[in-house]
Structures are given as C-alpha cells and as structure tokens.
Structure 1
C-alpha cells in the first residue's frame, strides 16, 4: 500500500484531537473525513481504521516505538511496521526502526497490560472482578466491532431489507439467535443508503438488540425507557409494540431526546412521547403507571470497548465509583414508576459484577418486599458482540 501525506496527516490530526483535546474518537473521525471530498473509499478506510488501531493499541505502540506521549508519527510508524506496510523515507518516520520494533514487541507480549494495551489500574480491576475470565474478555475487547443493523419491523421485513440492501450494494448475512439483526459482510458507510434514510433499519449491536425483548413487551402496554439517550433501544421497543400502546422516552439531556424524536419520525414511530428529567417531580408524576420499565443506566462502558477504544484512556477509578452510586440512585428512585405486577429491566454495557449483579442484589436487599428477580443474563465480548448485562425484575 502506498502512503500519502494528506491521509497520514489526517490520522495524526485526528489523534491530536482524541488525546490532546480529549474528544470522542468517533466524532473526531467523522469530522476529519469531511475535510477532503476527493478522498476515495480506500483513503477513508485507511484514515478511520488506522486512527482506531492507534487508539486501541496506544500503550503498546508507545512502548515498542519509544514514542513520547504525543509523538503520534512514531506510533503511526510502529503500527505500519506491524502491518508490514513499508515506511517511506519521510522525516516524520526518522528513528522508527522495524527490527527494534519487532524486538520490543516480542518483549511487550510477555506482559498482559502492555500486550493488550490497557492502563494498569483497569487491568487490575478487571482481574479482581471477573478473575480468570479477564484474559479472554480483554483480548476480545481489542477486536474490531462488527457493524450490525436492526431491521425496523414497523416498515419492512428482514428478507425484504436484505434484498433492498443488495440493490444498494450492501451485502449482509443473518445470525442465529438475533431475529432482527443483519451483519455487514464488509464495513461501509450505511448512513448514506436510501434504505437508512427511509427508516428501514438502525445501526445497533446484536447484543444491544437483546435488551428490549427481555422486557417481555406486549402491544398496547405503557412502557417507560427512563435512560433513553438518543433512543436505540427505545425505537426497538416501539417496533415490538407495533405502534400500539404508549412509550415514554426519558433522559436528563434534552438534546438526546430531540435526536430520538428525529430518529422516531424517520422510523415511522407514532406512539412515542419524550420527557426531560429536570426534577424529581417528573418521576413522581409517573409513579405506578408503567407496565414495563427499562433502566439502561449510565455505566463504565467496559463492555463496548470494541467500538469505543478511546474510553479506556478516558476512564478513571473515580468515574466508576461515581457511576455506581448513580446506578443505585436510579434503581432506588425510578423503580416506583412500575405498576405492581409490572416488569423492570436493569441493564448496562459493562462486564463488571460491581455494576451488574451486585447492584441488583443491593437493590433487592433494600426492597425485599417490593421486587423479585425473575432472571438475568450476561452477554460477553467473547461471544462476538458487545458486552451487556440485563436483569428482569417484577414488582410484587
């Protein structure tokens, strides 16, 4: 592969924003790719994939290239060497020695925290919480995430969507156990597809697609998604409800709910109402009103490092401590919105027991006469998709 100044510069520019300015990698890459309309699909793929690779392997690349904290050219040189791409004789790559990199890589592979490129504290936390599973799951979290679509059954069927996507030069395949999921055979920008603009599908990881059905929803019910965000799971709930009944999407951020409304219009959802949680009164007004309640709570996001590799460099022990307090607060306060006899799902995209089953146990210990656990489920990154936890509880 021949390297060009403008594409390699774009990678370095993206890394400066991700690490130097602490911006989210997906937003940075999206912005950088808009800079040059002459870049073809191959150029764009190189910029996006190389940037993500360096973010994912940041610690390892620094170690084997002996780069400074912001010496992104050396890290870029190292990843290219590892990918067997010949380095051009550019000034920026001066001092990048392929033989030395290979030697240091062999040494680095002896130490898990360097080999898997993760901060010391996070490696220790993962091993402490899930023990022997950590090796396997950590390795899986460094794999590239697959692109998964969720068929919008309000507008189409899986069979019809596959045929439509083929006409749009998007090849997909099905996966057992995920009735509404289609996986891309080749990574590409599906947001420009006419079928996406027509609301026939959403991009949503297969593991995430398990959460809405876990609520055991029936059309005609009143369902509350109390941590809706931009609404991927809310829209799935609406599809399962077949636009019958009422779904209330709630969040503390109005702009997220505005995005949800926009996506709902595109997807043909007609039974959605949104409410901003700007005081405790919003929750109180909905006491004993929901047949089903989804609490997809804020979390560490450790289960989704495949698609958000920059998160491991932005996370801190303090953040995880604080988010666990928030999770328990949401459980204790929001649970009152469920009717007696109704069902509630608590879910996270974390693989840490302290955010998952331990939070549910603590909640049940505080509410022994009000709720019971019916079942819970783990989806591990080593299963091939994102890591999720979900617990189904019934209000007595």
Structure 2
C-alpha cells in the first residue's frame, strides 16, 4: 500500500521490524525517528505505521503461536524478512478490523516479491490465507492446566517472566499487570511549579483548544494526561518550559525525595539522564536549593542540559561522571541523593515492548550487581541525617526489595516512611516501612519501585 507521496507504509514497518530483529535500537526510538523523517505523511498513514509496528512488537509471542498452527516451517526457522512479513500479516488479520484480510495477504505477497523472495510468495500467501479462514477457531493453551503458557501466549510475555510474577504476586495481580502492559499508555506531562495560577489556567485552556484534552492525574494536581500526543514539541507552552513530559511514577520519586525536607540545599542525582527527576527537583528547589545531575556520557549529559535550558532552570548543574567510580570530592556533601539506577525495565514494557524480548534471567543478575556498585558510592555522598532515595522502573524483587535489604544491612542508613511523599491511593504497610512497588494495572502509573533511606547521624 503506497501513500499519495509514493511511500510504502508496510515497507517502512517491515524495515523497522528487520532492524529490531538485528538487535538495533529500541522500538520506540526507531519508530519516533521514522515518523519524524516522514512527518509529511497523512495522519492516518502515520497512525497505521505506529499501530502495526507497536502491535507486532507487543503481540509477537502470540503471533508466533498462531503462525505455528498454520505454517509447516517453524517461525524461528523462517528467513527474517519472511518471519516479519508473516507477523505483520497475522497482526492485521487478527487485530486490525479496519484492514480487509485480503489486503493484509496481498500486500504481504507484494512485499515478498519486491524484496526478491519470489519463490516464497506462495508460502506467505498460503499461511496468511489459512489464518484468515481459521481465525475464529484457533486453539489456545488451556488456562487451568497450562497457566504459565496461557498467560505467556495470550499476553505475549516470556514464560520465565510470567513464572516470576506468578510466584511473587499470584495469578490475579499478574493477569492485571499483563493486561495493563498491552493497553495504550497515556502521555503524562508535569506542569512547572513556577508558573502562576493565571498562567496555568491559560496553558490548560490552550491545550484544550488545540485538541490535547489535558486531564488532571488522580495522584498529583500538577500532572496531566493528554488525549493527543502527536507533536508534543509543538504544543502550547512547551517551548516556554511550562511543562515537561514525565510519567507520574517518576514524579513520585522526587516527591518522596523532598517530602518534609524544606531545608534541602543540595540534591545530587547520580544517574540522571534524560533528566526528568533532576529537573523536577530543580523546579521544586528553585530559589532555595541547587541540583547536580550526573550521567556517564556527553550525549546523555546533553539531553539533560537541553531539557534544563528549555525549562529555564539556572539552579541545575550537569556533569559527566561514571556512577560506578567513587568521587571523594562529594563525600557527605548532599542533603539528598537520587539513585534512579539502571535496571531491567520490566515496569515500562507498556512503553517499550521489546524490553521483554531483550532481558534474560542472566541479565537480571548482572544489573543487580551493577546497582550495588553504584549504591555503595551513592551512600558516601549523603550527609549525616541526609536522605538517599533508590528507585528503578522494574518489577523484580531481586532489583528492588532484595537490594533494599542488602543496602540497609551494609550501610549506616535506616528506611524512612514514604507516606509523606505518596498519594493516599499508593500508601500501605510497605510504604510506611519505606518501600513502594507501583504496579501497572494496580496503580495509575508505570511499574516503579521507590525506597527511602536516611543516613544515621
């Protein structure tokens, strides 16, 4: 299918899926780059590209299960291009009611032929037409006898992750999480807390008039979800630094870090890129305290600086520093240290679906070891009586609760209640004890973990 400009939209999707097969950059970044490059396309064409690319990524395990029922050649034995074509066609047939099955089949055959796979176009056509005929009588795993396989196939989640979550959270909560991770995630913005009430009212009116339809988030009165998310940078107020794009889970980290600490003069963020939490903290501390945001590379530091400049934050300093390397010059200098550390990212699969295919049980162990190295250095930077907030965007006890227990047993810190920094809907016995695990489908936020420590005097 070609657009008026002669662009083959399915060809673009195929090229992106092939790039992801080769282990390139994350799908959300690849998709953004392609949509930016072809910004001149009609909105419907861009929506089609986005839906098909994200859909194939999100449903890959389920699609392969279906293909396995109709293809004599196992999916993993197919040529990468044919495998991607079959997944694209199957997704359109199973999940895109506005696309005729015949169009999904025919366009896949045309792509196979145009990409020099003439000899396999009959195979592609046969498999997809068989799915079209048999889609209403598909055989799925038995929920009662094969719970792990059922959840894995129906929600396209690797079995080992399903097994881990079932052990930690049980079937009911696990299924709610799996459902939520397949639902569209809203874009959330954080209004600058330095704009006046009149400016806020004018901004919200302007966003409503341009079709963004902001709705206040139930957790924070300065957080809003947007109904329209295309062209964020062109929305009213963006270039003036009146708002930043940030999930509410990330905002809650800063809320917990600064709750009840009006005397905070210096906050250090040891792994800050792209800078959401550091910028939020600088916004909160503007006129009373300063923030230093660190990250490992010049590229990441540049992202933070770019966002800080747009937000007009002169109290935020950016520095390139490897968090695994101790910095003696910062010993006991910070009132608050933010340690939002590299993690497996299982809590944000809803935004980055290819995470679930990249992460492995072995990689969880590796990242946990890295976290401990960074935490050992971060502990050194906290003043006596100061606060360290540890956070991750994952749902994995080895990276969260177990790391918290390890840190508390090896360093002169005690856990402190998070309840002053959390909305009532997120409070429980665990948050009173100093830890919070946000779960998609259970909370109105991404999957996130927060722990708060105070250094002993």
Equivalent position of 1:90 in the other structure:
106
Instruction: Determine whether 1:170 maps to 2:229.
Output: no
Cα displacement (A) at 1:73: 1.9
Task: Indicate the larger mover: 110-119 or 187-196.
Answer: 187-196
Equivalent position of 1:234 in the other structure:
278
Contact 1:130–1:352 under 8 Å retained in 2: no
Contact 1:61–1:79 under 8 Å retained in 2: yes
SS in 2 for 1:143: coil
- Distance in 1, Cα, partners of 2:366 & 2:162: 19
- Distance in 2, Cα, partners of 1:335 & 1:362: 13
Contact 1:243–1:270 under 8 Å retained in 2: no
Equivalent position of 2:452 in the other structure:
392
Cα displacement (A) at 1:64: 1.0
Equivalent position of 1:191 in the other structure:
233
Equivalent position of 1:320 in the other structure:
364
Q: Given the alignment, which residue of 182, 185, 206 partners 2:248?
A: 206
Q: Given the alignment, which residue of 322, 331, 346 partners 1:302?
A: 346
Equivalent position of 2:10 in the other structure:
8
Contact 2:323–2:377 under 8 Å retained in 1: no
Q: Structure 1 pair 281/301, CA: closer, same or farther in 2 (3 Å)?
A: closer
Q: Given the alignment, which residue of 297, 311, 317 partners 1:253?
A: 297
Cα displacement (A) at 1:151: 0.8
Instruction: Determine whether 1:225 maps to 2:269.
Output: yes
Instruction: Determine whether 1:378 maps to 2:437.
Output: yes
Task: Indicate the larger mover: 190-199 or 10-19.
Answer: 190-199
Could you give the per-residue CA deviations for residues 300-354 of structure 1, whole angstroms, max 9, x where no partner exists? 1111111010111111122111101111222222111010011111111111121
Q: Structure 1 pair 384/46, CA: closer, same or farther in 2 (3 Å)?
A: farther
SS in 1 for 2:327: helix
Instruction: Determine whether 1:102 maps to 2:136.
Output: yes
Equivalent position of 1:143 in the other structure:
183
What residue ranges of structure 1 are gaps of 5+ in the alignment? Answer: none
- Distance in 1, Cα, partners of 2:202 & 2:401: 39
- Distance in 1, Cα, partners of 2:270 & 2:91: 42
- Distance in 1, Cα, partners of 2:53 & 2:196: 36
Q: Structure 1 pair 91/241, CA: closer, same or farther in 2 (3 Å)?
A: closer
What residue ranges of structure 2 are gaps of 5+ in the alignment? Answer: 110-124, 144-149, 417-433
Cα displacement (A) at 1:137: 1.6
Task: Indicate the larger mover: 152-161 or 51-60.
Answer: 152-161
SS in 1 for 2:248: coil
Pairwise CA RMSD of aligned residues?
A: 2.2
Q: Structure 1 pair 118/3, CA: closer, same or farther in 2 (3 Å)?
A: farther
Corresponding residue pairs, total: 392
Equivalent position of 1:127 in the other structure:
166
Cα displacement (A) at 1:29: 0.8
Could you give the per-residue CA deviations for residues 133-160 of structure 1, whole angstroms, max 9, x where no partner exists? 3232222222221111111223455433
Task: Indicate the larger mover: 81-90 or 272-281.
Answer: 272-281
TM-score calculated relative to the size of structure 2: 0.80
Contact 1:171–1:184 under 8 Å retained in 2: yes
Give the structure with higher Rg (CA): 2
Cα displacement (A) at 1:194: 4.3
- Distance in 2, Cα, partners of 1:279 & 1:60: 39
Contact 2:270–2:323 under 8 Å retained in 1: no
Cα displacement (A) at 1:6: 1.3
Q: Given the alignment, which residue of 155, 179, 194 partners 1:154?
A: 194
Q: Structure 1 pair 294/65, CA: closer, same or farther in 2 (3 Å)?
A: same
- Distance in 2, Cα, partners of 1:227 & 1:279: 7
Instruction: Determine whether 1:215 maps to 2:227.
Output: no
Task: Indicate the larger mover: 261-270 or 35-44.
Answer: 35-44
Task: Indicate the larger mover: 47-56 or 84-93.
Answer: 84-93
- Distance in 1, Cα, partners of 2:191 & 2:307: 14
Cα displacement (A) at 1:272: 1.1
Contact 2:264–2:336 under 8 Å retained in 1: no
SS in 2 for 1:169: coil
